[in-house]
Structure 1
Amino acid sequence: MAKHKTSKLKPIVSVKQMAEMLNLSRARFYQLLDEGIFPQPIYDLRTRRPLYDARLQKRCLEVRDTGIGDNGRYILFYSPREKSESQPRKQNKGKTTANLKYQELTETLNSMGLDCSAKEAGSAIEEIYPEGIEHEDEGVVIREIFRYLRQKGV
């Protein structure tokens, strides 16, 4: 029943790569990591960066395939949606470009307990990252935006 081949395992992968291997967003992966569903990463002593070695990658893939978390709890994973040309695109009535651009970020911040809009998230990004976030680590951006908006009382 395993969908993943262990031959595709790399000696070491980042959290982002591990989430991609599991067909999960990084936000959802971190959520399940906090719940104990997936094993905690190891950390590079020099960079303090979280990493998954081949053994941990295999364990994460087993959790995804079996639906039994590292903590023994059952977890249901939904299949990723297939993108097809035949599906009609949603009309974005009343949504600005900024709202669409920061929609996923806003959803992540809302799931973390902040009640903020895409406009507020966009303003925070412009304030903290005037050069943009294209080359920034997504997890760091989320953390910094969360802290910034929390200080602003959002």
Structure 2
Amino acid sequence: MSRSQFYLHVERGTFHTPLRLPTNQRPYFTASMVEDILKARETGVGVNGEYVLFYDRRASSQESSGTKDHSSLIDGLKNLGLAGVTNQQIEAALAICFPKGSQGHGESDVLRTVFRHLKRSGSA
């Protein structure tokens, strides 16, 4: 939740108004106030008893489940001497070598791993 949204709920009364330090007027919340605010977020009922809707962020859009374009991998494999590799063979190799997905792995690591897998399995 952004700071502006938080203070909008404070103005509406669905969250507690922060207390202020007497020395520099900085806002702060006591532990019980924080618990009440977190409870309001969980239950959807503000500290003033009003019902409140909190929207969760949208989940990042997942790629379509259709076949993916592996042209850069195919080009890399051609440069390494594997000429007749298809998208289906690459999909199968990626599923075996990277069961949780290849995100977070460098392109060169993925290329090397897929190349080794295809050479060992004799698919290419």
Give the TM-score band, short-chain normalised. 0.3 to 0.5
Larger Rg: 2
TM-score normalised over the length of structure 1: 0.38
| TM-score relative to the length of structure 2 | 0.46
Looking at both structures, which has the greater relative contact order when contacts are Cα pairs under 8 Å and sequence separation is at least 6? 1
